[in-house]
Amino acid sequence: MIFANRYFPATRLRRMRRDDFSRRLMREHSLTVDDLIYPVFVLEGDNREQDVKSMPGVKRQSLDRLLYTAEEAVRLGVPMLSIFPVIESGKNNEATEAYNPDGLVPTVVRALKARFPELGLMTDVALDPYTIHGQDGLIDDAGYVLNDETTAVLVKQALCHADAGADMVGPSDMMDGRIGAIRQALEEEGFIHTKLFAYSAKYASSFYGPFRDAVGSAGNLGKADKKTYQMDPANVDEAVQEVAMDLEEGADLVMIKPGMPYLDVIRRVKDTFGVPTFAYQVSGEYAMLKAAAANGWLDGDKCMMESLLAFKRAGADGILTYFALDAARLLKA
């Protein structure tokens, strides 16, 4: 008999994979619309809309147009927008426009909150859209970004956003001690409900290129980099230390950025602290997937959903992603 000594596997994992119902029962992680945060780029003025070339499907919009985008986010059930300004007038190296109460971000926040009170709004706290050199902070004569001087401006910026009605402020600047300084100031001014979303482990990544095009800081930054304040991509213990500091200083949520190339960091942070941990699937990750899909090399929708699910598997509680509306549409279908 040919099969007399045939070996039978004790476990056939394919048994549970065979049918759709059992695959569904086995499923460990899932993506829902509640996991999605949509970053938007806002322009000064009225009736303006521009495509971001390196991010197909992403637009810069003036407030009147952004209201339609916000309405769509609400309709789809996306919980929160993250607002990034394109500053065309008023840049200077003191970044004074960053805390102008009548500036672009506070104006947009007030208008969106008035129209869609239930839609969460996060603002970006960093000085790069407001400085002529495109760095996230104030610099000295040698071009070094000054920590404590920058933090003082970030505090003003965060208070200005909170005063306009921002639900969350998201410091993305990577100065030391800024979470504590902002938290203290928010408490002192009575903004006890304003949530602090710390970009805790933000790496000096090359995946931010399309974003810098979108907000128009790429030209200003030129060949300079952000390695004296953003993290070295080689490090992970240091990310744990950054998160520990931010939590101690009063962060409500922490973020790892970029996303897909840093899933190990998300897992490590989630396992170490067990706190709300978010990921930013950044502009370059979006651009890569879009480019491959446009060439017919990848199935865009399927790869988008797989990439977002991977964040959940890695331990993320939510994802900032330029795919938020597209993914929400697919989840609803």
> CA nearest 226: which of 210, 257, 204?
204
97 binds ligand PBG (CB under 6 A): no
Task: Rank residues 216 and 300 by Cβ distance to ligand PBG and give the closer one.
Answer: 216
Q: Does 36 bind ligand PBG (CB under 6 A)?
A: no
The whole-angstrom separation of Cα 32 and Cα 318 is 9
Q: Give the pair of three-digit tokens for residue 169.
A: 């402020």
Region from 60-68, 98-106, 206-214, 268-276 binding ligand PBG, contact rule CB under 6 A: 206-214
Q: Is 202 assigned a catalytic role?
A: yes
Tell me how far, at minimum, the Cβ of 320 lies from ligand PBG, in Å. 8
Interface residue with ligand PBG, options 35, 97, 136, 326 (CB under 6 A):
136
Active site residue 59: no
The torsion angles phi and psi of 202, rounded to 5 degrees, stand at -110, 120
- Residue 94 among known ligand-binding residues: no
Among 54, 61, 123, 172, binds ligand PBG (CB under 6 A): 172
Among 91, 226, 257, 290, the active-site one is: 257
Nearer to ligand PBG, 208 or 262 (CB): 208
Residue 282 in contact with ligand PBG, rule: CB under 6 A:
yes
Binder among 112, 119, 126, 255 for ligand PBG (CB under 6 A): 126
Cα separation, 230 vs 226, whole angstroms: 6
Q: How far is the CB of 172 from ligand PBG (least distance, A)?
A: 4
Residue 236, CB half-sphere, CA atoms under 13 Å: how many? 11
* Interacting residue with ligand PBG among 124, 246, 249, 326 (CB under 6 A): 124
- Among residues 59, 65, 113, 212, which is the contact residue for ligand PBG, using CB under 6 A? 212
58 touches ligand PBG (CB under 6 A): no
- Of residues 189 and 218, the one with the C-beta less far from ligand PBG: 218
Q: Which residues bind ligand PBG (CB under 6 A)?
A: 124, 126, 128, 136, 172, 208, 211-212, 226, 282-283
Residue ranges for the binding site for Mg(2+)? 242
Q: Which residues are catalytic?
A: 202, 257
Residue ranges for the binding site? 242
